[in-house]
């Protein structure tokens, strides 16, 4: 094992100045205290190839390596088609298809995306746990990020928590949206304590959405939607509140004979790569059911 060479299990940092101790240095590289303690306890942090105490004062040019062990994934492997947009040591980026559950639940142990990824990992000899970074509703399609190790997961979670990730969606909504572009800056909370449904409410959490009209049809509109906060159901609630609920959304609108889910697709994501810190963009093509709905609306 070469602790000076980056690979799927090792991430290397180089000290660019004197004076920081090991914990301070990794904290300055956005390694959380929780992850540091976990790695340190397992003796998985090395300085110039050797395990050192966390109080060690680093010198300029020292190489600090964090080692992440191989892991067992317990989700039952199940062969299925998964649409991979991008993959490297740290990330697996998927284009989630319609009407598929992401995680196994008590009532839904099979045919989840996790089952499919578990099979893919097994086939490729990837000995890592499945760590989803972002969430999409069962009936929303588009970009899903899977982190392949604790380091990538923690780094990506940090970006999402601080709203540094650029997220764009396409939505097909009922009615002709008059303003070609607008911001919706309205707080969102639960309709009732145990309700799944969310509403705009003064007591809710801050939520900011921007929409731009792409096309207008006879009785509907295609929107480009960017969210700057990550509230549950944010786009669905905000668009419903301005009188343009998403077509096919049975919770905030009504069933549609032309699509069997809400016409909402996460098509664009821009992040900083957890290892290189460089900006990286992902684009997921529009699913066939939304293309068919658009064709129907155009010809109506």
Can you tell me whether residue 21 is helix, strand or coil? strand
Strand runs (DSSP E) across the chain, as ranges? 10-14, 45-47, 50-51, 63-67, 84-87, 91-96, 131-132, 141-147, 166-174, 181-185, 188-190, 198-200, 208-216, 220-227, 264-272, 279-283
Beta strands across the sheet bearing 45-47: 10-14, 63-67, 45-47, 50-51
User: Among all chains, which residue has been given the structure tokens 């190790």?
Assistant: 149
Q: Report which secondary-structure segment, H or E, holds 239.
A: helix 234-241
Q: Tell me whether residue 72 is one of the annotated catalytic residues.
A: no
Catalytic residue among 88, 137, 182, 224: 137
**Dist. CA 265–CA 168, nearest whole Å:** 9
Question: For tokens 């990550």, what's the residue?
Answer: 230
Backbone φ and ψ of 276, nearest 5°: -90, -20
| 143 close to 94: Cβ distance less than 8 angstroms | yes
Q: Are 264 and 239 in contact (CB under 8 A)?
A: no
Active-site positions read 137
């Amino acid at each position: 094992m070469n602790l000076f060479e980056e690979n799927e299990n090792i991430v290397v940092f180089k000290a660019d100045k004197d004076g920081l101790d090991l914990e301070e240095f990794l904290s300055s590289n956005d390694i959380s205290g929780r992850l540091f303690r976990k790695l340190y306890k397992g003796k998985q942090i090395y300085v110039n190839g050797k395990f050192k105490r966390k109080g060690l004062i680093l010198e300029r040019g020292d190489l600090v390596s964090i080692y992440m062990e191989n892991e067992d994934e317990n989700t039952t492997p199940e062969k299925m088609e998964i649409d991979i947009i991008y993959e490297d040591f740290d990330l697996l980026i998927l284009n989630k298809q319609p009407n598929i559950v992401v995680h196994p639940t008590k009532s839904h142990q099979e045919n989840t995306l996790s089952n499919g990824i578990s099979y893919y990992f097994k086939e490729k000899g990837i000995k890592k746990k499945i760590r989803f970074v972002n969430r999409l509703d069962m009936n929303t399609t588009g970009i899903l990020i899977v982190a392949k190790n604790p380091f990538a997961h923690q780094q990506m979670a940090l970006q999402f928590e601080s709203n540094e990730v650029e997220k764009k969606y396409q939505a097909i909504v009922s009615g002709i949206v008059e303003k070609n572009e607008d911001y919706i800056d309205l707080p969102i909370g639960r309709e009732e304590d145990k309700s799944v449904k969310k509403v705009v409410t003064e007591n809710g959490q801050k939520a900011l959405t921007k929409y731009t009209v792409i096309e207008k049809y006879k009785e509907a509109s295609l929107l480009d939607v960017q969210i700057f906060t990550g509230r549950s159901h944010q786009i669905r609630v905000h668009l419903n509140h301005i009188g343009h609920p998403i077509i096919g959304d049975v919770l905030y609108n009504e069933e549609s004979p032309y699509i069997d889910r809400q016409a909402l697709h996460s098509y664009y994501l821009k992040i900083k790569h957890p290892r290189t810190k460089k900006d990286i963009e992902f684009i997921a093509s529009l699913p066939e059911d939304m293309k068919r709905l658009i064709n129907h609306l155009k010809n109506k």
